Amino acid sequence: MGYKHNKEDILEVGYQVIRKNGYHHVGINQILKEAGIPKGSFYNFFESKEDFARQVIQYYGEGNRKWLQDIFQKSEETPINTLKSFYKLLIGYNEEDNFCSGCLINNLGNETGRLYDSLAEETKEQFDQWLDIIAEVARKGQEVKEITSSFTPKEIANYLHSGFYGTFFKMKVERSRKDMDTWLEMTFKFIKA
């Protein structure tokens, strides 16, 4: 029947808390309190705060990867519309979240990328795997001449997702989706074949 706590639950709490508040603003004690575990258990599962954050990134990266694959597989729209609907969905999620969190990967990459090699490495890796999935849709879009072939599928995917990350700055300080909507219209006009 297993022990009282399990790693996944702690990682999920860590994901929620760190995504909202960042890395340095969150203390171990806060995680312990929200997850309802004693310190001994935490340091039994994780070597350090940095190791914990790395595993949170991995946990979220892998979960999101499966979600991406699933959503693209199920889509009945054309490639370019699949992508556009996907970003519209993400914008909607951020709206439900009151525009305060953005994406864990982007947040941690920006806040800690230069400070901790292990976190830079892990964010880079997870992000890159997402890009591969998005790039596959872009490739299909090029195949059916919906998306410009002036750039590689991976370049298109990176342009889309990094560009989307760029909208988080204004989203957070203006607490509105206006700029994200404009970004969506502009970008998808630009990448059309």
Partner DNA sequence: TCTAAACTAGACCAATTGGTTTATTTTTCT
Partner DNA sequence: AGAAAAATAAACCAATTGGTCTAGTTTAGA
Torsion angle (degrees, nearest 10) of CA 31, 33, 39, 44: -50
Residues of span 51-80 touching a copy of itself by CB under 8 A: none
- Concatenating the DSSP letter of every residue in 4-37 gives S--HHHHHHHHHHHHHHH-STT--HHHHHHHHT-
Q: Measured from the CB atom, is 48 or 152 closer to DNA?
A: 48
Whether residue 163 contacts residue 187, with contact meaning beta carbons closer than 8 Å, is answered with yes
Please, which of residues 120-139 interact with a copy of itself by CB under 8 A? 120-121, 123-124, 127
89: CB partners within 8 A, 6+ apart: 71
> Under rule CB under 7 A, how many of the chain's residues touch DNA?
21
The residue type at 192: K
**Of residues 15, 21, 22, 43, which one binds DNA by CB under 7 A?**
43
Determine if 174 is a binding residue for a copy of itself (CB under 8 A): yes
Asked whether 91 and 180 are in contact (CB, 8 A), the reply is yes
3 state DSSP class of 147: strand
Please say which residue, 52 or 164, places its beta carbon nearer to DNA.
52
Among 11, 19, 49, 86, interactor with DNA by CB under 7 A: 49
- Is 40 or 76 the residue whose CB approaches DNA more closely? 40
Q: Do 137 and 83 meet the contact criterion of CB atoms below 8 Å apart?
A: yes
Report if residue 69 touches DNA, rule: CB under 7 A.
Answer: no
Residue of 40, 74, 76, 189 that binds a copy of itself (CB under 8 A): 189
Binding residue for a copy of itself, selected from 16, 81, 110, 129, defined by CB under 8 A: 110
Q: Which residues bind DNA (CB under 7 A)?
A: 1-5, 26-30, 37-41, 43-45, 48-50
